[in-house]
Amino acid sequence: MHIRDILADIHALEEELLDFERKFGIRSETFYAAYASGEEPEDDSWVLDFGEWASVYRTWLTRQAEYRDEKRM
6, 66 Cβ separation under 8 angstroms: yes
Average pLDDT across each block of 10 residues of the chain; the chain has 73 residues. List them in order. 93 98 97 95 93 98 95 78
Output the pLDDT for position 50: 97
Sign of the torsion angle spanned by Cα atoms 39, 50, 58, 4: negative
Helices (H), 1-73: 3-24, 28-36, 47-72
- Sequence-ordered list of residues with C-beta below 8 angstroms from that of 20, at least 6 positions apart, any chain: 28, 31, 49, 52, 53, 56
Q: Where are the domains of the chain?
A: 3-72
Among 15, 38, 40, which residue's Cα sits nearest to residue 28?
Answer: 15
Residue type for 18, please? Answer: L
Output the pLDDT for position 18: 98
Global pTM?
0.92
